[in-house]
Amino acid sequence: MVLTRVAAGEQKKFLVLLGTFIHSKSRAELEYLHNAAVAVDRQGWIAAVVKDRGSVGVARDEVLGQMGWRADEVDVVQCGEGQFFFPGFIDTHVHASQYPNVGIFGKSTLLDWLDKYTFPLESSLSDLAKATKVYTACVRRTLAHGTTTATYFATVDVPATNLLADLCLSIGQRAFVGRVCMDRKGLCPDYYRDESPEASLRATRETIAHIDEIDPGYRLVSPILTPRFAPACSKDVMNGLMKLQREKKLPVQTHISENKGEVELVKTIYPEPGSYAAVYDDHGLLTPETVLAHAVHLTEEEGNLISQRESKISHCPCSNSSLTSGEARVRWMWDKGIDVGLGTDMSGGYSPSILEAARQATLMSRHVAMQIDDEGCREKCKLTVEEALYLATRGGAVCLGLGDEVGGFEVGKQLDAQLIGLGEVGQDGLRAGENSNDWVDAGNVDVFGWETWEERIAKWLYNGDDRNTKKVWVKGRLVHSRR
Ligand code: GUN
Ligand code: FE
């Protein structure tokens, strides 16, 4: 008997996608590839791209010829009318462990929110049955919203964190999984913290070892060092993580300057360094592989320091509004040369969707603009549709060191993508398949047929949701599908 073995992470068939592909050409511009074909090999790499042919049939035949693939070796997915492929979204900051709390924050602000809602839920996930339920739901939900890469905070608990890594690998989401380090007595509750700096670093190594075992080479899932934030960490933990970062060349994630009370707290705990960013810098944690969430209340000097160190920022507008934290200034960050991505920051943010984060980034930028008197500066502040979608894809990829791997449809990148379908309105004002008393739940975006592609994309950004995300692939593997 001949056994056909499919290597781990390898698909049985080649994949050819046909139709319209849209991705960022630059921060300011989207590129539209029509009548195009993208060929994906069995390891999920984009092996050939042809575009602007007379029809998708011509594009398909050309790409099959180029690759030397027979039709029976290939799965073909063709866009329906008005559909398009878009790169998968990248969530650069999300707490998988807080997913059950989305929407539950009342009128709280960061520090009381942590005590009232967050720490009790996170600590309860050392119950592995509960963690399985929460993490499975979180990974599936975010995939359904087109998030092909997620940068997760888990909890303090090692087995539950390792479980999250297992689930990302088996369900098929590209992920960075961080065991949360928090050992400072006083700020961290006694019922939920690492016992000592040594215990914190030991537990961190245990999760790294687990991911080394399940995904050597970190092809889909990678560990990420995760000091929760300066107020929750001792100097010894931060210094230990710095050494671990240098030893293992791992990325780092933490929070910075989210809330004014938090900034004051950091000043009282760490009076010497002179700023929140300087606290991390003094502990060697501002590296080019560091992703700092929020960065709402940074000073000019802190912005310059972060830029000098080439650390990245995860902008989390939904969270910043929900917890009344303030308005982060993306244009200001970009002007300083800082790379920025988007984060849902569930459950500081109430939405699992990066499309929602992109939409809210445009709105928050307008609130920033409304505080500026100078008209030129005011206008420049406002993020465009194109810029928001750049943040959601390539911007996030750059923040995570994945700029050459994902975020667009180029040969040599991995195929992390979503198929988007909008609601086409027919002559009778109904959508395909509808009659007057049978509503098709195809989402909120009604396309009338006269819109330009740029207008369709704007309509998707402002009114789209997971109902528009018809299929999702990570590394060439189909990981979500809906009708
Ligand atoms: N700062 C420290 N921990 C957290 C958290 O869980 N969420 C947010 N938004 N900020 C934090
Ligand atoms: Fe957060």
Tokens describing residue 267: 């000043």
Residue located nearest, by CA, to atom 11 of ligand 1: 255
From 92, 255, 269, mutation site for ligand 1 pocket: most ligand atoms within 8 A of C-beta: 255
Ramachandran angles phi, psi of 91, nearest 5°: -100, 110
Q: How far is the CA of 93 from the centre of ligand 2 (A)?
A: 6
pTM of the model: 0.98
For ligand 1, say whether the CB of 184 is within 6 Å of any of its atoms. no
Which secondary structure element, helix H or strand E, spans residue 48, and what is its range?
Answer: strand 46-50
C-alpha 346/C-alpha 344 separation (Å) is 5
Instruction: Report how far residue 208's alpha carbon sits from residue 206's, in angstroms, rounded to the nearest whole number.
Output: 5
474 CA from centroid of ligand 1 (Å): 28
Residuewise pLDDT in 10s, the chain (483 residues): 344 445 557 899 999 999 999 999 999 999 999 999 999 999 999 999 999 999 999 999 999 999 999 999 999 999 998 899 999 999 999 999 999 999 999 999 999 999 999 999 999 999 999 999 999 999 999 999 999 999 999 999 999 999 999 999 999 999 999 999 999 998 899 999 999 999 999 999 999 999 999 999 999 999 999 999 999 999 999 999 999 999 999 999 999 999 999 999 999 999 999 999 999 999 999 999 999 999 999 999 999 999 999 999 999 999 999 999 999 999 999 999 999 999 999 999 999 999 999 999 999 999 999 999 999 999 999 999 999 999 999 999 999 999 999 999 999 999 999 999 999 999 999 988 888 788 878 899 999 999 999 999 999 999 999 999 999 999 999 999 998
**Helical residues (DSSP H) of 215-344, grouped into ranges:** 235-248, 260-269, 276-282, 300-309, 317-322, 330-335
Which position has the token pair 């606290």?
A: 279
